[in-house]
Homo-oligomer: A and B are copies of this chain.
Amino acid sequence: MFKKILIVGCGLIGSSILRAAIKKKISKKIFIIEKSKKHINQIKKLRLNCEVLKDPKQQIPTMDMIIICTHLGEYLKIFNKIEKYINKNTIVTDVGSAKEKIFRQIKNKIKKNISWISSHPIAGSEVSGPKFGNEKLFLGKWCVLIKDKHTNRKHMKILSRFWNKIGSKIVHMNLKEHDHIFSITSHIPHLVAYNMVKTAINFEKKKKTNIVKFSAGGLRDFTRTAASNEIMWKDIFLNNHKNITKGIDLFINNMRQIKKLINTKNEKQLIKIMQESKIIRKKIISSKQDVNLPDFGRR
């Protein structure tokens, strides 16, 4: 499909793309840029067939595609380093979870003819680093591709084919839509999970009790989400702060309402709220967005 591609940042997502691209023979050669020596050593140990990019000036102009898989906070640094070598025929993409702010910010600063089409594969996990990478990570998962009036249509086709080949289903959104939707389906849930664990830690310190020992009652699920990479999530929260702020306000208002229902013993309304959330679970199962097993099939 390609002669040469470059993956910038080889953590969980970058190394999963690397593995999937090797498996599906996406490119004759795959180059990587990775600043962590620990990650480089892990990749060497795993014998993943790729080459560390040595000479940006010579090599970057020859790439068919560049995929940025670092934290959002690294983007500007990366573009500053490589943008001058990027060819207008090279497809540039990234896999970031927040789009509008950073895309507009960088677009304003780089050469106009760089063909950057932003991607967001809805896949991941609470673990980090190439050793957890998985060639099947994208299988059957949605991948959002950002489309606007400037998008190079030929490149969009090629990029879509790439994601399809490694298993993803494509959906198009604009920057605003993306950040709106994922504020509620991803960013607020993560923030709420972090906040739940923080609240439990506060409680533990105050009451000198053991929250870990009795976490199986519900808390433990929150700790999985709240074990996600803190640099990645700090960047997402800051890059989608407007939508997230609105989401927090909505969440707090709803929580106050539930508190009132409990304290006024409004059984009927409480039951209604809980019945409605059960319907969402059923829809998630029937649209295959989660495993159809009690307790995630966990033992």
Task: Tell me the complex Cα distance, A126–B49, Å.
Answer: 43
Interface of A is mostly: helix
Task: Knowing A198-B276, A230-B271 are in contact, say whether A203-B184 is a contact too (CB < 8 A).
Answer: yes
Task: Tell me the complex Cα distance, A236–B251, Å.
Answer: 21
Residues of chain A from 190 to 218 with CB closer than 8 A to chain B in the complex:
190-204, 207, 209-218
Copies in the complex: 2
Task: Knowing A184-B211, A277-B197 are in contact, say whether A234-B267 is a contact too (CB < 8 A).
Answer: yes
Q: Does A40 contact B (CB under 8 A)?
A: no
Interface residue stretch chosen among A57-65, A78-86, A104-112, A254-262: A254-262
Report the interface size class on chain A: 35 or more
A234 contacts B270, C-beta separation under 8 Å: yes
Task: Tell me the complex Cα distance, A168–B290, Å.
Answer: 30
Task: Knowing A223-B284, A280-B197 are in contact, say whether A132-B258 is a contact too (CB < 8 A).
Answer: no
Which residues does chain B contribute within 8 Å of A182, judged by CB atoms?
214, 217
Cβ distance A192 to chain B, nearest Cβ, rounded Å: 6
A188 contacts B196, C-beta separation under 8 Å: yes
A196 contacts B189, C-beta separation under 8 Å: yes
